[in-house]
Amino acid sequence: FLRIQLLLYVGLKKAKVVYSVRMKEIVETAVLQDEPLPFIEATPGRICLKDRRSKTEIGAVAFTRIGGPQHPDRKLLVNKFDVIPRHQGRGYGKMLMTELKRILDTEQRTGVLSVHADNRRAQAFYTDEGWEFDDSVRDTLPNKGQRADHLQLWMIRDPEA
């Protein structure tokens, strides 16, 4: 529990309080279900949430940084954000999102992601986490943000100062 809290500590009292409250809910759920808490493993371009016992992946975020330190329009393009279906609904997506937002805010980058037009649950999750719909961002990305599926909606999140 302490390791996860330290890894995700943002440095802002407000963020820490909000995260601590959510973490308390996750801990209570894990205790009730006799599950060990997962841990976060971060590597360049990837955040992975792993099961403490088996070390298997529960969920992950993969991303690409666009624009160097001096670039005026620095972005972080989220290529993948998922939690394995049998682990959904336990707060693990929020744990991954907390770490992703910490990176966005620390590096002062605008987060960009796409979500399938039919995936209302994911859209609600991202909106609750501070992301906004903005299809105009597509034109600012390499290859014009083209994906195999044209039924994508684009969302952004600006870094907090």
Residue 50: per-residue pLDDT: 95
Please tell me the distance from the alpha carbon of residue 129 to that of residue 4, in angstroms, as a whole number. Answer: 19
What is the residue-level pLDDT of the chain in tens, covering all 161 positions?
A: 344 443 443 333 333 434 444 555 554 444 445 566 889 999 999 999 999 889 999 999 999 999 887 777 889 999 999 999 999 999 999 999 999 999 999 999 999 999 988 899 999 999 999 999 988 877 666 655 555 455 678 898 998 85
84's tokens? 């394995």
Nearest CA among 115, 86, 98 for reference residue 42: 98
Sorted by sequence, the CB contacts under 8 Å of residue 26 that are 6+ apart come out as 37, 90, 91, 95
Residue 26: per-residue pLDDT: 53
To the question of pTM greater than 0.75 for the whole model, the response is no
Please tell me the distance from the alpha carbon of residue 36 to that of residue 76, in angstroms, as a whole number. Answer: 31
DSSP assignments along 93-105, one per residue: HHHHHHHHHHHHH
